[in-house]
Every structure is written in structure tokens, then in C-alpha cells.
Structure 1
């Protein structure tokens, strides 16, 4: 039996325990009482301002040796600045009658994102500060395999900021250790978007301090071409990964590095890294995000990952990856002979093997185009300016030039778009059928339309001069306008499907939900919509960056369907890596752009019929009109009951509807037109509109 003295000694040791830091609020009070800023404290403790903020908000706790130094400092301040005694409460007899009870407002259907409890192996810090403004979105079930979300942003103090406010302690001091920790302890990742697809690899975003701590250079050499560069194979970090039997993809160790080991028993071992100081986040697609604090970067990328996909590279790469994630090329099928489950083709997908285009659909560099002299498909977005001599005096006297922009025009064109899933079949003297996707050689030069409108058949808006290759939607529009079409030959695809439908649906929902979070909802009146659009980016810059990334994902994803060869070592006629993807499909890109251009022309034609107004210029999805006032409501056509005219431009926050792009003086627009410049490019105030795929 233990003696009484031994028991008392054991109890006393429990009572003493490890010295505890004061509560987070008291830490902040003591620092403020001493007149020390968070930045000055961070410098003294050889840490970062964000880390001090986390200590004072309860999101994380300091680790040795900073913990002992911080505690000593707080104890010294506590002796100098004791807390003021709380005043005694005044007696209050209470009201004579009970106040009326306010009715309880039911919770909205769209609840904040729920975050599951973390696994026992990882102990995230829990925030004790008042809850910050949350992004309202549809409730999403958290996969128990990935309780800490799809990604984390690592700072120089070893703290990994996850989506939902979770902060993890990451003990890794090398890239190899970071990869091991991510796969075995972090609880980071995301479930597949389709039951036949694959789970998303965890993404770790490295800040400058984290990158340097892990042995990476602050910048890659050659700042002007940094995105195409990578670490040399003899760099210590690359050697370190090789020794640990990790592999890099052919992209090497660049701004977006994918580190993996071959899958075992169907289990993937892969981690994606994004290195912020190496410009992993392009400012055009992610404006201002790289300069945010780690927790805010995690929030922005987390919202994008939840609504679109975990970033896997540029937004263009993510847009292309999303297509495959939603339409996986294979699925499990049962072998009737053996009873075993094997990999088989997934109907509606593009399959696993690349399909070469027809010669007129290819680019000049493509091997199938060598020796081809029959012309090429030219389905591109509009770049058209009306001949200034066709401007009327009435138009020139109108005070305003108003630019309208179609919300994600390419995304709207992808809705219910039937594309070819198989290779092309060459047919001579075919009978045109608008239900068959393909490329048609047809003469549309006899079609004469009002010269105040661009031709719907060419991206330049000029009338065709003879036979040319057109995508199905362009030829179908000529038939819709009442003209006979007699194709000379065609390359047609007999196996068809709406391959882009799930891609369209997911991105449309992401766009609409993000616009709603920024205060631009579908139930707004046109006047309220225009007012909301004037300030929606200021409402939440982080979510405004998510919106920009979603739009860049649409344009970049479509552009990637016809990725051109890159690198100084390429020679004409050689194949390049992109051609080995089943998603290298210039015919699908042409179908989207053709439909978007036709949709734009149809709206301009209906507007002209209803109002007699014609556009001054068009650039991709932006059109400029002369207007009696600075608002689109001053010139858009209406029905007799005051509603927007069906088939013309309509204002609203959903894909395919229009928003105000910018307003300038009509004289300004006419001056640009006379110089041969496009007012639609600069209607915002000098900012050029991004071209497809940029």
C-alpha cells in the first residue's frame, strides 16, 4: 500500500501541472496595456504578426521555446498592469411586467458550411474570438476521411490554416516530411465529385516564410518567365524527395508541384503544392489573394475548392480537370465471363485515348495539318468595329456609349451543348443536319445582312468571301435566318453527347452562389441589380477574388481544349504533350465559341428590330451601344407591359444575362472607331477585356 506521504506528493504534482498561459483576451489586454503592437511583439519573439494574432484570438498556442519566452513576458506585464476590479452590480428590482417575446426567425435554408470534428491524430486550435463573417453557402457534408478540408496554407511557424477556421500544427522541416505529414496525419483532402472519379489530392499552399524554412528559394530565377521555370534536378530539395522515393510529374518542381508515389491497391499517394512567392496564383485570376494573410488565403481557396474543385494549377488547368472529374473516362463494369469487376468506358465521357481532330479543325502545328491545303475552321470570339461611315448623325449626338457584358458567355453557351464524343468521319456532299456536331465546308458569302451589324459567320464580323469551314451552330444559324445552305463536304461525329453539361451546372451554381454572397441575387429588380453591381466587389474582396477565379476557370478551361505547343524546343509538325490528352478537343472549343457568337448576334439582331439601335463595337462578350443615358435601361428594348424583350439583352446575375461593363462619352467611342480601335476593349476605362483562354 502507498503511504499517505506518497499519495499527497502525487496529488501535489497534479495540482501544480504545467504553467498555463493566461486566456487569449487577457494576453491582448496585457500587450495593449504595455503599449506594444502585435508587429513589435512578433519581431521580439522572432515570429510573424499573424501568429501573434492567432495567439490572442485563441486560434493557436505558442510552442517551445517561444512559449516560455511569451509566458515570461506576460507574467512581467501582469505584475505591472493588474486587471481593474469589476464593479459591484447595482440592485435592480426588475420590470413590473415581462417584455414581449420577439418571434424567433427560422434559420435560412442555406446554412453556413459545417466543419466536422478533427481526427484524434490532429489537434487543431479552436478559435475563441467572436465568429467572423461567414460565407453563406449550401450545407455540405464533410467526408470523415478529410475532416480538415481540401487544403491548408502553411506559414513560417509551422501552422497550417485550413478552410473553416481550423489551424493545425505542422512539425515538418523538409518538403519530404511535409508530404508525409499531409498524407498520414493532416486529415486534408476532398471526396470525388463523381462516383466513378477520384478523390482530390490534398493541396498545401506555401507562404514565402514557409517556402524558405523548407529549403526553397524565395524566387525562381528569371522573373519574366517564372511560371514556366522549375527547380533544377540537382537542387537539394529535389534530391531529398528522390532519396525519400517520391516522384515529380513532368512539370517538375515549379509553382505548382505535384509529388507522388505510384498508387498501391488503388490508393493514391499524391500531394499538390502551390508556392505563393513563385506566383502560383496569377493576379488576373486571383486578384490580391497572394498578399492576404494565410487564414484569408485558406478561406478564398477553400470556397473555390468547395464550389468548383481543389485547385490543381492555373484556373485554366483546374477548368480542364473539372471536366474530367465530373465526366470520368472509366467506370467499374462486371465481366460476365469471369464475374470480375474491370475498368470499362464511362458513357458520355471522352474516354481514355486521345482522338486526333479533322485537318480543318487542327492548328497549323498539328501533324494532321501537314500538307493540308483545304482551309481551317475559324470559330473565334467577335472582334468587330462598325465602319464609322455607317454612323448616323442621331447616334453621334447621343451623349453616352454604354458597354454591356454577357455574364460568362462561354459557360452559358456550354449549356445543353451536344458535342462529338468520337473521331471525325469525312463525308462529301452531305445534307446539313443541325443535330450532328462537326465541321462543314459551305459557301455563306451570298448571305447579305445589314452592315451595321457584324456578320454572324466570322469573328471579324466581315462578310465571308467564299467557301469556308464552319462549326454546326454557325451553319444552323444561317438556316435559322432563312438562307439555303449546301455543304460541299464535312467532318462529322456520329457518337454525341452533352459532355459539358455537369461542368456547366457546377460552374453556374458556383457563379450564382458567389454573386449572391456578394449581395447580387436573382430576385433583385433591374435598378437594384445595377446598384448592387457597382459595389459588389467591395462587399467582400476575398469572395470577389473567388468570383474572378470562377470566370477565369470558364474561359481558361475552354481555351485549354486547344492548347498550343509551348517551349523553345518545339518544332513544327511534332506532337506536343497536350495532344496526348483525351480533352485536347479543338472541335468542342469551336462549338462553344460558335454558339456564344451566334447567341450574341441573335440578341443584337432582335435589339435592332425592336429599337432600330445598332452596336458600335463588339469584343468577345462585350457590346457597346450609343445611348441617350448612362444606364442600359435607357436603350434596352421592352415589351408593351414594360418587361425586357424576349430574345434581346436582359440584365441579371446569371450566366447568359447582361451587366453594365462601363460608360464613356459617345464622342470618345467614335474617336476610337475612326482610329481603327475597338471601344469595347476600353469601355471600362482603359482596361482591356481578357481574350479567350487568357
Structure 2
């Protein structure tokens, strides 16, 4: 009889009542249990419990009865109508931050490592310019023994148009890993999926049919982002791909066409883009109607995630890697390649080149130009906007050096001067750095959308984007207008010229972008252009791009404890050590910044590599987004924004910068903090001058060194004009930095 009872008990257990999947997850989270803890108690894998909570699988005896027992007890403790904190939304305690920074000037560390603006803003290829919103979680540099889910995750900011899309319920991306022979896909939010695919073609098929990965479109006429799969080293080995690639393959940007995996894809009717199978491979089939079948791969061990911008992201455990890249995807967009490539793709996603027309007489819709976009066809640049080697310059003599009257040179500042006697008596050199300077330069900027029109002897129009040949050598910085009918006298010898990257006064006619010429008028001087290439079709193309990147940056900084409503003193305290509060979120910040600079740089991408000769076209010229005029306008406005603040500061305080590098300015100061030389009255900054804060266009403390240090390194390298802004962060100067 006991055997019959046992059989009945087993039968009942096999049908143990379970709450719906979403309720299972709620009850676990309500009690503060992790997936790993539940899995350990039931002696199953973490992915198994995750599948139960996602409704993808159901527990079977003997685990089902134990699981039902646990959920029943939890339901008694946490009724469905009782509010409970979720592990996904718990806010960690903010660490105490130290007092206003009083930096040491006696211990130099390493040099300011940001490259010059030209290198940052003009990557030579889509793959070489690769820096990253949410709540703290520590960086793990080694693989953990268990797949513990994140106790907290980032709240997405800037949700894509259309809101939640059931097609993409598992998020924009997954990190594919292999453990004990089982392929697992780590998604955002701690979800882990079992992957049955045994080959790369099967993995692509699974992703599109069952993965439910992707991201909704960012604008009405646009398209959703394709799923992104990040392959770990274990996944590469499992699918027959090399864990690392050779130097030759790295230079080529791809593995050989004859590789067995590429042959597998070909046999399965999958195609690769012209980029081939490289660190950011795209695998697709031709679109059927409006639907497309495409999956993007990211391979960190092939250097897909440039350490200059992504730090150690490629070495993170799968769950952490999915969380970090997922945060970036939610706040910016799903990565499409390097941060530079993604920055450019974000412009396209926010302003798609075409849209569907209204129905014609037959009821059909057609593709038409999307107003406000750059269109689907490239336009020629003006000759003065063309970089050296461009086909427009093919008739120039081979070694001809183009003068300022022949070429538009709008670049960021790299200027310095010797210290005055009075400045040498001050103890400190303090650097301040403009937050998201190039993003701020893009905000509200009117840029050309179409081709240029050449005009002779035009009247200058500050509202008309273009390039202007004009003589600005008469602008005298010793007397400038700082407000309507308000002129001030300055020591112009202590200020950089606003018209050249090196801060030198122009000697005659030169080509300038509209913001530069407009600033000469603002300073109170007449301008008479000789000729111009203007763009009558124009608009504020970059506004949406700026807004999304600004929101991503501010949200991530807020998660790191640096809010937008802090007083100057609070801001300096909050910024002190903010990266250490959550190193992974600090990577997100770096990646957002790199997306700004790299995206602007891609607008004038130079030819890459082998086979190209001056005078021949290169691949980037075929893009509608190859627009050197837009890049020039953004950099021009960014440099002018910096100079305007410098002039306001000099007019009010009599203080002048001793060095300016891109978005960093260095001043001699009586104290080590920016508050020792930035004018504040009742907590309010000088109108139009430098203001401490986290918002784009405001400034933060960059670093402090002693005046003795500055004079010492200049004397050591026999360089009285050595740009100290390059090294102000931590004081290290090397022979390589100075060209010795």
C-alpha cells in the first residue's frame, strides 16, 4: 500500500501548481534571491531557472515539487498586491566623496593621453577609431565560478521610438559563451538563453527566429537595429573560428575568404558585407520586401572593442559584458562597429535618408527623400573643403602645398605661450576642460544638407552655412566688443587668435567656416568675403544626435553621483574619484565621448590603406555622410565657443590662458582649484564665461601642477612654447611627446 501512496504522491508532484512565469520572478526578487541561489538549492543550472522564469521551459519532477513549495512559501510572505523592491531597480548607496580637490603638484604621473583633435576627430578608417548608463557594479577581470546575475541594472534612457517591441523582448544584444559544452546567450537584464545552434549559420538562424534580439527604430522613417551577437573566446573555439587573428588579418580587417566558417555561410545562402568576416562582421540575406535578415557580430578578442575607449570591456565575464554594452545600446544605440562608426550611424538612424511617400492613385507608396536628412546620394564638396589627395585636386602639382587661401583649415586649438613675470610668481597652473565640447559645438548648429553653390563677392550671412574666403588679419584682439555697444581693451598678445588652430594671427585671405567669420563680426569688425561656397539647403541636422548623446552622458554621470544641479563646490567633490565608484559605468562615459568625437571625424574619413593613390576616390566618398563641411562647421563653432569664454574671462578678471589644447585651457592661479581663479558671485558664474558643471559646454577640473613644474619641463626640452595643457592632468612629459 505504501508503494501506491508513493506513486500517488509522485503523480501529484508532477502536476504541482506553479504561478505564471512573471510571478515566479517577482517572488524570487521580492525575497532578494538570485538565480544562482535558487539554482543551487534545486541542484539545477542557472540557465534552467532563468528559462522557468521566462516561460521558455517548465520544471519537471523532482525539481518541480521543490520549486512549487518554495514559490508557495514566498507567495505567503509577499502577496501580489504588496509593493516590493526589485533587484533590477534597487539604488545602491552613493559612496561619500572627498572634499574639493587639492591636487598634489609634487608627484607627476602619466601624461594626458587624449590624442590631438585632428586624430580624434578624423579616424583613418571605420575600424581603427574605437572610448562608454545605470548603477554601480564592480569590474570583474577574471571569469567568475558562477554566472551570478547583476543585483542591479541600468534604467534605459532615451527609449527608441515606438517603445517596447515584442520582437526584441530579449534586448538589443547577447554575449554568446560556452560552458561545459552548452552554448549560452547572455542578454541584458540577467537573462540567459540556451542556444542549440552547432554552427555559425545555425547561430544566425536561431538569432533571427528565436533570439528575439534587436532594437526598435529611433525615428519614424527609420529601421530597427539588427541583433548584435558578441562572441567570447570560448564561443569562437566552439564554432571553429580563431580566438585571435594574425597581424596580416588585422591589417586587412578580416579573416581569409577561404575560411571554413565563411564556406559554411555561403552554402547556407548567407552573405557578408564588403567588410568581410572581421571584428564587426555583418551576416545577411537580401531583403524580402520590407523585412531584412541580418545579424551583426562583435568579436572582442579580434580587437573589436578598442581599449582607448572601451578599456577592459572585452575581458569582462559574459553577464557584465552584456550589461555594459546593453547600457550603451539603450542610451546611444546598438553598436555598429567602432564608436566612430556608431556615431555616424546614429546620425543616419535619427535622420534616415528616405521615407515612404503618401499613397499614389493606385494606393502604392514609394521611397522619397526624407526632409532634413542628407539624402541617399553623396554630394561633391567644395574644392577648398577637399582634403589633400581628393579627386577634385587631381590636377594640382604633386608636391604643391596649399595655402590658407586654397584650403579650409578648421581644427581644434593647439596653442601655448611663455608665462609672464606676474604669472611666474603664482604657485599653480590649473587646467579646466570643457565637457562634451564637440557635442556642444553641434548643438543648434545650422549645417548644409545639399551641394555647395559658388558665389563671387557675396555679402556675408551668418545664417548661411558654407566656406568663405575672407581677410580677417585686421581683427585686433586688443580691442573687442563683448556686448552690444560695449568695447573692452585687452592684451591681445596674451590671447590666441580665434581664426587659426595654432592661435596665430592670419596674414591675409583664408577660407573659414561660417561660425568663424560670424565671430569676427561679433567682435565688432567688418568682413568682406571675396568668394564663398554656400549651401542654401540647410538645417539643424545634428540637433537630435546631440540630444541623444547629451542625455546618455548626463544619465550615466548622474548614476555615478555627478548630477546637473550641483553647486560648484558640490560638483568638484562629486567629480573627485567618480570613475572608481563604478569602473564599468566610467567606460560607458568614455564610449559616449568617443562616439561624439569619432562620429564628427567620420564626416571627413581619409582613405584607408593599401592600393589608394592621391587623386583617386576612396570608399568613404560614396557615403552621403562624407561631409567635410559639416565637420569643419562643428570644429569651428567649438573653437569659437572656447575663445568667446576666454575673452569674457580676460575682460572681467584680467587673466589670460597660458595654453589651450582642444577643449582644455590652463591658467596660472594663486590656488590649486578652479574656484581659485574662476569668478563666482553668490554662487553665480560670470555670464558668458567658464562655469563649473556636468552639462555639455560647462567645465570640469582637468588637473593642477606647479608653475615651477611648467617652467622646468619647458626648460628641460628647450621648448618655451611647449603646450602644458597636454600634460596638466598628471604632469608626465616624455621625449616622444615633445618630438625630441
What range describes the TM-score normalised by the shorter chain of this pair?
A: 0.7 to 0.9
**Aligned equivalent of 2:710, options 669, 691, 694:** 669
CA distance in 1: counterparts of 2:433 and 2:252, whole angstroms:
32
1:274 is aligned, of 275, 290, 298, to 298
Contact (CA 8 Å) 1:159, 1:169: kept in 2 or not?
Answer: yes
Which residue of the partner structure matches residue 460 of structure 1? 502
Aligned residue number for residue 213 of structure 1: 238
Tell me, yes or no, if the aligned pair for 1:137 and 1:513 is still in contact at 8 Å.
Answer: no
Check conservation: 2:499, 2:516, Cα contact below 8 A: yes
Deviation at 1:568, TM superposition (A): 1.7
Judge conservation of contact 1:220–1:229 (CA < 8 Å) in 2: no
Within-5 A mapping of 1:311-460 = 311-334=335-358, 336-371=360-395, 375-386=406-417, 388=418, 391-449=419-477, 450-460=492-502
- What is the CA RMSD across the aligned residues, in angstroms? 3.1
Measured against aligned partners, the alpha-carbon deviations of 1:115-163 in whole angstroms (never above 9, x if no partner) come to xxxxxxxxxxxx9979713324559542111110000001123111111
1:168 aligned residue: 193
Which residue is equivalent to 1:301? 325
SS in 1 for 2:174: strand
Relative distance call for 1:583 and 1:111 in structure 2 (3 A) is farther
Q: Assess, with a 3 A threshold, how the Cα gap between structure 1 residues 617 and 129 changes in structure 2: closer, same or farther.
A: closer
Q: Does 2:651 match 1:620? A: no
Pick which of 155-164 and 587-596 moved more: 155-164
| Aligned counterparts of 1:510 and 1:652: Cα–Cα separation in 2 | 16
Residues 380 and 594 in structure 1, CA contact (< 8 A), matched pair in contact too: yes
Corresponding residue pairs, total: 601
- 1-structure distance, mates of 2:306, 2:148: 32
Structural mapping, 1:158-237, within 5 Å: 158-222=183-247, 226=250, 228-237=252-261
Question: C-alpha offsets along residues 184-218 of structure 1, whole Å, 9 cap, x if unaligned?
Answer: 01111110001100110000001111111111111
Q: Distance in 2 between matches of 1:687 and 1:287?
A: 21
Instruction: Give the distance between the partners of 1:538 and 1:208, measured in 2 at CA.
Output: 28
Cα drift, residue 445 of structure 1 = 1.5
Q: Within 5 Å, which residues of 2 pair with 1:635-674?
A: 635-639=677-681, 641-673=682-714
Kindly state the Cα deviation for residue 669 of structure 1 after the two structures are TM-superposed. Answer: 2.1
How big is the shift at 1:431? 0.6
Query: Could you report, residue by residue, the CA deviation over 1:241-265 in whole angstroms, capped at 9, with x for unpaired residues?
Result: 1111100001100000000000002
Contact 2:156 2:331 in 1 (8 A): no
Equivalent residue for 1:487?
A: 529
Q: 1:146 — aligned with what? A: 168
Match of 2:57 in 1: none
158-167 or 662-671: bigger deviation: 662-671
CA distance in 2, matches of 1:472, 1:656: 20
How far 1:336 sits from its partner (Å)? 4.2
1:619–1:678 CA contact under 8 A, matched in 2: yes
In structure 1, the partner of 2:309 is: 285
Paired residues of 1:189 and 1:202 also in contact (CA < 8 A): yes
**Shift in CA distance, 131/471, structure 1 to aligned 2, threshold 3 Å:** closer
Give 1:27 deviation, angstroms: 7.2
3-state SS of the aligned residue for 1:461?
Answer: coil
Structure 1 unaligned spans of 5+: 32-50, 62-70, 72-103, 115-126
Partner Cα distance (1:514, 1:172) in 2: 36
SS at match of 1:527: helix
Which deviates further from its counterpart, 168-177 or 576-585?
Answer: 168-177
Distance 1:12 1:377, change over 3 A: same
2:548 is equivalent to residue 506 of structure 1:
yes
Distance change (3 Å), C-alpha of 1:571 and 1:26 = closer
Which structure has the greater CA radius of gyration? 1
Q: Secondary structure in 1 aligned to 2:310?
A: coil
Cα deviation, residue 29, structure 1? 8.4
1:240-289 CA distance string (max 9 Å, x none)? 11111100001100000000000002101000000111111111111121
Alpha-carbon distance in structure 2 between the residues aligned to 1:394 and 1:349: 53
1:247/1:137 CA distance change after superposition, 3 Å: closer
TM (norm. structure 1) is: 0.81
Q: Which has the higher contact order (CA 8 A, sep 6+)?
A: 2
> Residue 441 of structure 1 contacts residue 488 of structure 1 at CA under 8 Å; is this kept in 2?
yes
Matches of 1:511 and 1:309, distance apart in 2: 13
- 2:606 corresponds to: 564
Aligned with 2:673 (options 625, 631, 651) = 631
Answer yes or no: is the 8 Å Cα contact 2:394–2:614 preserved in 1: no
Contact 1:360–1:369 (8 Å) recurs in 2: no
Query: 1:105, 1:294 → 2: CA distance?
Result: 29
- Would the aligned equivalents of 1:672 and 1:678 in 2 still touch at CA under 8 Å? no
Distance 1:178 1:360, change over 3 A: same
Q: Give the drift of 1:340.
A: 2.0
1:111 and 1:138 in contact (8 A); partners too: no
Distance of 2:653 and 2:12 partners within structure 1: 85
The change in CA–CA distance for 1:232 and 1:130 in structure 2 (over 3 A counts) is closer
**Structure 2 partner of 1:682:** 727
Q: Secondary structure at the match of 2:493?
A: coil
Q: Greater shift after overlay, 337-346 or 551-560? A: 337-346
CA distance in 1, matches of 2:299, 2:166: 28
Deviation sequence 1:147-184 (CA, Å, 0-9, x none): 10000001123111111111111112211111001000
Q: 1:17 to 1:404 in 2, by over 3 A?
A: same
Distance of 1:488 and 1:138 partners within structure 2 = 48
Q: CA deviation at 1:683?
A: 1.2
Q: Secondary structure at the match of 1:529?
A: helix
Structure 2 residue corresponding to 1:134, chosen from 117, 135, 153 = 153
| Contact 1:227/1:255 (8 A) holds in 2 | no
Deviations 1:305-334 (A, max 9, x none): 001000010000000000000001111112
Quote the Cα distance in structure 2 between the aligned partners of 1:448 and 1:571.
42
Distance in 2 (CA, whole Å) between partners of 1:524 and 1:265 is 52
Task: Mark the CA change 1:261 to 1:129 in structure 2 (over 3 Å): closer, same or farther.
Answer: closer
User: Which whole-Å CA distance do the structure 1 matches of 2:707 and 2:599 have between them?
Assistant: 35
TM-aligned CA deviation for residue 11 of structure 1: 5.4
Give the 5 Å matches for 1:17-36: 25=37
Give the structure 2 partner of residue 82 of structure 1. none
1:443-482: CA deviation from partner (whole Å, max 9, x where unpaired): 1112232021110000011111111100001001011111
Q: 1:633 to 1:58 in 2, by over 3 A?
A: farther
- Would you say the 8 A contact 2:90–2:152 is kept in 1? no
CA contact (8 A) 1:603 1:649 kept: yes
Which runs of 5 or more structure 2 residues have no equivalent in the other structure?
Answer: 16-34, 53-61, 63-82, 92-132, 135-145, 397-401, 478-491
Distance 1:319 1:687 in 2: 31
Query: Which shows bigger deviation, 418-427 or 674-683?
Result: 674-683
| Separation of aligned partners in 2, 1:128 and 1:494 | 57
Cα 1:477–1:139 change in 2 (3 A) is closer
- Aligned partners of 1:607, 1:541: CA distance in 2, in Å? 35
